[in-house]
Structure 1
Amino acid sequence: MSTNHLLDNLDNINKIDVSNMSARISNITGMLTSALTTSLEFQDTNTPSDVILAGMGGSAIACDLLNDYLSGNPTIPITVIREPQLPYTPSSETLLVVNSFSGNTEETIAIFNKGYTYGCRMIVVSSGGTLEELAKSHNVPLIKMNIQGEPRSIVPYHFLLLIRLFDLLKLTTLSKSEIEDTLKSVSKCVTEYGLDVPIQDNLAKQIAIQLQDKFPCIYGGGLFKGLTLRWKTQINENSKSICLNDYIPEFFHNAIESVQKYELFNPNLFIVVIEPYENPEWLQKRYSTLHKILTDYGLSHNLIKSQFKSKMEQIMCMMNLSDYTSYYLGILKNVDPSSTEVIDSTKKIMS
């Protein structure tokens, strides 16, 4: 393997990645296997009337991905929230799923207390901390997350846990074949995006180089709506970069106007469009139109279309691509991808 470029020099990468985040990204198969064996035992498995999924950061991303995974087969209303306020007054038949990997997230603890006050059904998904203590002291069911890593690194694990929970509640059906196919596909992705794969054969490294010294924009819709935010937040945290994400079809009602020559910043943009394997006709028409508009107006972009078929495969594999791409972009900046100095200092200021 050539070592002329930083992304093909393992020694230099390892010097920058001091916490070995690459190992956590590459362990997606292990994470999914762990998610399949994590205990889910509840007395009440009746289907709720509605669900509120609460979380922040990576925990909320897992909720977004679940919502996209369930889309197209709605049975009950599902709402994802990222604030210490409930979106409506829950009933005794509402299920509030409180998600926090650390168990110490301020906003999520506040939501737990509000939900308990209203008397709705509750489940806590956490690795410990204050939320575990609250769940045990209030006899609230707890899904104990037994895994190591940053909240953003363990999203594949968290996402599959939520799918298993919804399967238990009869809100979706998780098949053995879908799991087996997903495990094979994510293993293939790690093989293709890994550190030892040279740039010319590595899509994640290629996209990172395209994004270097550019303003990244991530666009997508349908099954990949939540993944546009996943790409954005991974680039924010792993690459220490500003990034914009937007959704199709909303993009066509406002942001599309910005492609014109009047925006002098446009030459500094690089747009990544992420597209599911199959789309309904209305959405496919918009993907085709977006590609044409970006080409006609000369905006640098890369259209990444999923090569996988099942919903879980597509979400997991596109998420893995975002994880590797943002990791490599951080390496190109000579910054430890796992560090969150500003986030940590901000929390101290607000405490």
Structure 2
Amino acid sequence: MTWEPGRLDDQAHLSEGDPGGMLPAVAASAAHVRTGYRAAVEAQVDRLGAHGRPRAIVVAGMGGSGIAGDILAAVAGSGAPLPIVTLRSYQLPGWVGATDLVIAVSGSGDTEETLALATQAVRRGCTLLGVGPSGSQLQAIATQASAIYVAVPINGQSRANIWLLTIPLIVAAAAMRLVPADADLFERVAKALEDMAHRCRPSSDSFVNPGKSLAMDLAESVPMIWGSSPVAAVAAYRLACQLNTNAKYPAVYGELPEAGHNQVASLDGPLAEYDIFADTTGRTVRLVVMRDVEEHPQVTRRREAALRLARERDVRLTEVTAEGVHPLERIASLIALGDYASTYLALGYGVDPTPVSAITELKARISQ
């Protein structure tokens, strides 16, 4: 597989190289926000606010579903009056009990880790909220427990339906007065995603298309992606995961200030050396910094100092800034750009962004 940037402006290739329709799926994000909101309202998730706040919220999910919990925690922010924890495992911690809310999220509705946690939650007497497709095993567990279930119309890979799976959690949090969110906010987010879809559309040339431009920055490098706030850090994690699954591409992510205590040392390492005349293609670091307006002042100082270090060492650098006012708007802007970039990177390498053969094979092997 070789990187050919000309593919990004070849409309025939972008269509033929994406038979699973990952680009159209990313472009449908705005519709997914609106649909997820309607589904949550119709499922009456506001009932969760009738009995007061839980002691803690535990989100159970894997892969493209589990990140819904990370987004919820980032949007709620450090001022949230309760812990919001995402679990990606088979076992609930011992402290989870009847006063806690467990939100089980599964794009397939049959993710074994998520089903295991949902079942344990019911046995322990936790309040359960399920989010996934209609007619799934997860819905059966929720129905049997008389729990609220938000049925969303999942189509294709879970990672392409992030907003269908996430928005019901934000609606639930708003009902419990953990997040200031109403119909107007969700419409603003949808319109912002429509704007991003227009700017990143396949027919838009690389030099004016932010999704294609970021893909070109990432190509032939080892991306080290940092977020400068909890919101930006979730987007950094999402981009790394999307590079893994869409482009089948390795990436490292981190959050400032922690990245300044370990990953920054990579700027002095062998992969940071970049010589345009040397044969080091694909072996040099690209530092990608996702910035947010709500940085801690000390984080801002660390970010600026780290960027100076990178420039002094001629490390290739890309900065991306969140757009919007509300945390949900800002995280959506960063995630949308990363989703487009990872898809365009795949197509630039001639990789079909939809299949995840290695993941499918791994699941098959452990099921035997």
How has the CA–CA distance of structure 1 residues 177 and 134 changed in structure 2, closer, same or farther, with 3 Å as cutoff? Answer: closer
- Mapping 1:80-119, distance limit 5 Å: 80-119=86-125
Contact 1:273 1:302 (C-alpha < 8 Å) held by counterparts: yes
Instruction: Tell me: CA distance 1:133–1:231, structure 2 relative to 1, closer, same or farther (3 Å).
Output: same
2:151 alignment counterpart: 144
1:179 deviation in Å? 2.6
- The equivalent of 1:186 in structure 2 is 193
Corresponding residue for residue 133 of structure 1: 140
Aligned to 2:44: 41
Secondary structure at the aligned position of 2:225 is classed as strand
Aligned residue for 2:238, secondary structure, equals helix
Matched residue SS, 1:5: helix
Question: Cα deviation per residue 1:126-149 (whole Å; 9 max; x = unaligned)?
Answer: 114211122222322211122323
- Distance 1:189-1:6 versus aligned 2 partners, 3 A rule: same
Deviation at 1:316? 0.8
User: Within the alignment, does 1:318 sit opposite 2:318 as a pair?
Assistant: no
Q: State how far apart, in whole Å, the 2-side matches of 1:116 and 1:178 are.
A: 33
Q: What does residue range 263-278 of structure 1 map to in structure 2 within 5 Å? A: 263-264=270-271, 266-267=273-274, 268-278=284-294
Asked if structure 1 preserves the Cα contact closer than 8 Å seen for 2:34 and 2:187, the reply is no
Output the CA distance in 2 between the equivalents of 1:142 and 1:320.
27
Amino acid at match of 1:218: I
| Aligned with 2:245 (options 233, 237, 246) | 237
- Give 1:207 deviation, angstroms: 1.5
Residue 305 (1) aligns with residue 321 (2):
yes
The 3-state SS of whatever aligns with 2:59 is strand
The match for 1:162 is 169
CA deviation map 1:148-185 (0-9, x unaligned): 23110111222222100111222222134433332222
- Structure 1 residue ranges without an equivalent (≥5): none
**Which residue identity is paired with 2:101?**
L
CA contact (8 A) 1:16 1:336 kept: yes
> Does the 8 Å CA contact 1:238/1:337 hold for their aligned counterparts?
yes
Identity over aligned pairs, percent? 23
Q: Which moves more between the two structures, 283-292 or 326-335? A: 283-292
Q: Aligned AA for 2:6?
A: H
Q: How many residues align?
A: 348
Residue pairs, 1:48-87, within 5 angstroms = 48-87=54-93
Q: TM-score when scaled to structure 1?
A: 0.94
The 10-residue stretch of structure 1 (5-14 or 143-152) with the greater mean CA deviation from structure 2: 143-152
**Equivalent position amino acid for 1:150 in 2:** Q
Cα separation, 2, equivalents of 1:210 and 1:228: 15
1:9 aligns with 2:16: no
Retained in 2: the 8 A contact 1:259–1:294?
A: yes
- Whether the 8 Å contact between 2:75 and 2:179 is mirrored in structure 1 is no
User: Aligned residue for 2:254?
Assistant: 246
Q: Distance in 2 between matches of 1:30 and 1:132?
A: 23
Give SS of 1:167's match.
helix
The CA distance in 2 between the partners of 1:174 and 1:136, in whole Å, is: 27
State the Cα distance separating 1:266 from its structure 2 match. Answer: 4.5
Instruction: Please state how far the C-alpha of 1:350 moved relative to its aligned partner.
Output: 0.6
Output the CA distance in 2 between the equivalents of 1:266 and 1:344: 36
8 Å CA contact 1:40–1:165 kept in 2: the answer is no
Unpaired runs of at least 5, structure 2: 275-283
CA contact (8 A) 1:277 1:308 kept: no
Distance in 1, matches of 2:271 and 2:76, equals: 40
Q: Give every structure 1 segment of 4 or more consecutive aligned residues whose post-TM-superposition deviation is greater than 4 Å.
A: none
Contact 2:107 2:154 in 1 (8 A): no
> 1:81, 1:87 within 8 Å by CA — same for their partners in 2?
no
1:214 aligns with 2:215: no
CA RMSD of aligned residues (A): 1.8
| Contact 1:275/1:287, CA 8 A, preserved across alignment | no
**How far 1:44 sits from its partner (Å)?**
4.6
Task: Say if 1:123 and 1:169 are closer, same or farther in 2 by CA, change over 3 A.
Answer: same
Q: Deviations over 1:191-223 (max 9, x none)?
A: 111101101101211111122222122111312
Partner of residue 180 from structure 2, selected from 153, 167, 173: 173
How big is the shift at 1:264? 4.5
Distance 1:15 1:211, change over 3 A: same
